[in-house]
Structure 1
Amino acid sequence: MGKEEATPDAGEWVRLMLRIRDERDRAAFAALFRHFAPRVKGFLMKSGADAALAEECAQDVMTTLWNKAHLFDPSRASVATWIFTIARNRRIDLLRRDRRPEPEDLPWGPEAEPDQEDALALQQESERLRAALKALPEAQRELIERAYWGDVSHSEIAAETGLPLGTIKSRIRLALDRLRHAMK
């Protein structure tokens, strides 16, 4: 019988993650990769991805772990939770990408010019939206801009800002409600 490698405990995962974050330790990354990459691939396959896509996505998740290790905070999440949250977000991104029309499905040729009345109405509505955005509290406006114009997921915003995910979602919901009322 071959020698089996013991699975590290949660404390060891944190130590490895901190070595990646603080020292860019390749051996620590290799240990996390060996353990988590196959599990992330399995998770993605169970959620409907084919093997090739799951493999590609798992590689992307582990690359994100390396590149964004500075965002890991052991007081906010376990290493496994953090990695599987990244995987879940990548899966959502892939689903969104798959629902977008392919370039060959888009209409070709010049679009008809909108009539002046429609163009004026669109311009006025855009100005109202700009004013409504400007009237939002700065924290809410920043979150709306990051989520809708920066194409950043709520989880990524939470990781980048250090705010709880629920706070991010609440602030965005409040901001959207204010914008809805302002645009009536």
Structure 2
Amino acid sequence: MLTSLSDQSLAALDAPVTVDRDTSVVREREKVERESLSDQTVWMLAVRDNRDRVAFGRLFDYFAPRLKGVICRSGMSPSQAEDVVQDVMLTVWRKAAMFDPERAQVSAWIFQIARNRQIDVIRKERRPVPEELKLPEETQEDAAQVLALDQETQKLRAALRRLKPAQREMVEKAYLGELTHSDIRDQTGLPLGTIKSRIRLGLERLRHELKEQGLT
């Protein structure tokens, strides 16, 4: 019976996580709108923004049995389905920064990850992909939204590369390295005022770049 992540999977939650894009403006807006969101979306945002293990546990408890049921109906054995669910939920944890509630519902986002993982497993076994795993018309838009997120991530990385080196270093440490300003000061020896100024200027430049590309 699938009730929680395996010990090995739990250990993987402590692995460093790379946040691929600056979403400060979007996240401020989400704070205001959060009261109207579903419980599952609130949990997902807590995982994305705060690496909240309690929220992740709730996501797991909610989605794991549903995912297992869908996967078993596609022809996989219960034990194989449990392995897929473990992989899917770890991917949810690791790629939480990619989730945007304005582009896809959390259920659609997670089930798309599960579908892709199922297809990978089936193809490795050289079996034909079941009809039920082929995208129904109503989920095509959600799949396109997931693809759009990947494309936006690539554009953000390009925008980061165009920042001045000093600004890029501070932004990457603060947002990709998830360091506090004090942590950055301890690492670099720079005054807090300099660190904050470089981050502010870097974010302003990033927002300008992304606005020109229609991403903000």
TM-score (norm 2): 0.44
Q: Computing the radius of gyration over CA atoms, which structure comes out larger, 1 or 2?
A: 1
- For the 8 Å contact 1:10–1:79, the answer to whether it is kept is no
Q: Secondary structure at the match of 2:45?
A: helix
Match in the other structure for 2:151: 161
Q: Does residue 45 of the first structure (1) align with residue 72 of the second (2)?
A: yes
CA drift at 1:95: 1.2
Tell me how far apart the structure 1 counterparts of residues 66 and 38 of structure 2 sit (CA, whole Å): 19
Tell me how far apart the structure 2 counterparts of residues 15 and 60 of structure 1 sit (CA, whole Å): 22
Larger RCO (CA under 8 A, 6+ residues apart): 2
RMSD over aligned CA atoms reads 2.5
Paired residues for 1:1-150 under 5 Å: 11-99=38-126
Q: How many residues align?
A: 103
Tell me how far apart the structure 1 counterparts of residues 62 and 109 of structure 2 sit (CA, whole Å): 14
Tell me how far apart the structure 2 counterparts of residues 24 and 78 of structure 1 sit (CA, whole Å): 19
CA drift at 1:159: 3.7
**Residue segments in structure 2 that go unaligned for 5+ positions in a row:** 1-35, 128-142, 154-216
- For the 8 Å contact 1:20–1:66, the answer to whether it is kept is yes
Q: Secondary structure at the match of 2:103?
A: coil
Q: What residue identity is the alignment partner of 1:87?
A: A
CA drift at 1:88: 0.5
CA drift at 1:154: 8.3
- For the 8 Å contact 1:71–1:159, the answer to whether it is kept is yes
Aligned in 2, Cα 1:90/1:155: closer, same or farther, shift over 3 Å? farther
Identity of aligned residues (%): 48
1:112-151 C-alpha deviation (Å, 9 max, x unpaired): xxxxxxxxxxxxxxxxxxxxxxxxxxxxxxxxxxxxxxxx
Tell me how far apart the structure 2 counterparts of residues 56 and 10 of structure 1 sit (CA, whole Å): 30
**Residue segments in structure 1 that go unaligned for 5+ positions in a row:** 1-8, 101-152, 164-184
Q: What residue identity is the alignment partner of 2:98?
A: L
